[in-house]
Structure 1
Amino acid sequence: SNLKKCLAEPDVQVPLDEIEIDENLRFVKEPIEIVERDVKNLKRRRIPLVKIRWNSRQGDEYTWEREDQFQKKYPHLFSKPVPSSSVAP
């Protein structure tokens, strides 16, 4: 057999109770906070965006999301004021 015995190092192991997975066996990431706000101008539309910090196992991870869609899913994150990166016209 080409398989070799794996000797795990205790300081590298991740405790199983810290790992959250969904029914499709994907890692579950939850948003931690809204870091920044911005507005994207597209022709005649203005799309409000929020920059989200996620709890990722690889370290800090940030993404821009549509504010209206994100507020429906995570309303508790919108209770604190967040600085805006764009200047209001």
Structure 2
Amino acid sequence: MKGIQRFGKVGKLSPRFIGPYEIIEKIGNMAYRLDLPVHMQGIHNVFHISLLRKYVSDDSKRIQSKSIDLQPDLKYVEKPDRILNYDVKQLRHRAIPFVKVLWKHGSERDATWEKEAEIRSQYPHLFN
């Protein structure tokens, strides 16, 4: 399952916030119904208060929502965008080359170190 991530999980189970989306109604004391876009229709639109983040409107920092191709089981295939850095891990008797990969739907802080041989075999277009 390398390269396939569940919706909302980046890296090592760190939470990822998407949005902002408008609150339609308050349900009880601890839940809200959100107005989600059409391409996210497979996601339940009621969220607990702990999963929401306060948003202060600022036109200069407006967030443009990118559409992610979600499969029916809420998974998407993460593809590399470009290589940021090269490094060699030196062991006692051999050297292992690594590359820092920036993924398509992530930021630079979400970039991961991967073995160069694996990335070169799966995505040779990154090394041209």
Residue 50 (structure 1) aligned with residue 99 (structure 2) = yes
Residue 6 (structure 1) aligned with residue 33 (structure 2) = yes
In 1, Cα distance between equivalents of 2:71 and 2:95? 34
In 2, Cα distance between equivalents of 1:25 and 1:54? 18
Residue aligned with 2:33, SS: coil
Aligned match of 1:16: 39
Alignment-mate amino acid for residue 39 of structure 2: L
Query: Do the aligned residues in 2 keep the contact of 1:39 with 1:49 (CA within 8 Å)?
Result: yes
Q: TM-score, normalised by structure 1?
A: 0.64
Residue 35 (structure 1) aligned with residue 84 (structure 2) = yes
Q: How far has the Cα of 1:20 moved from its partner? A: 1.9
In 2, Cα distance between equivalents of 1:15 and 1:31? 26
In 2, Cα distance between equivalents of 1:74 and 1:23? 26
Unaligned 5+ runs, structure 1: 80-89
Residues 28 and 39 of structure 1, relative CA distance in 2, 3 Å threshold: same
Deviations 1:6-36 (A, max 9, x none): 351xxxx455282223575422211110011
Residue aligned with 1:65, SS: strand
**How many residues are matched?**
72
Unaligned 5+ runs, structure 2: 1-26, 41-66
In 1, Cα distance between equivalents of 2:72 and 2:96? 33
If asked which structure has higher relative contact order (CA below 8 Å, sep 6+), I would say 1
Aligned match of 2:121: 72
Alignment-mate amino acid for residue 87 of structure 2: D
**Backbone CA RMSD of aligned residues:** 2.7
In 1, Cα distance between equivalents of 2:72 and 2:94? 37
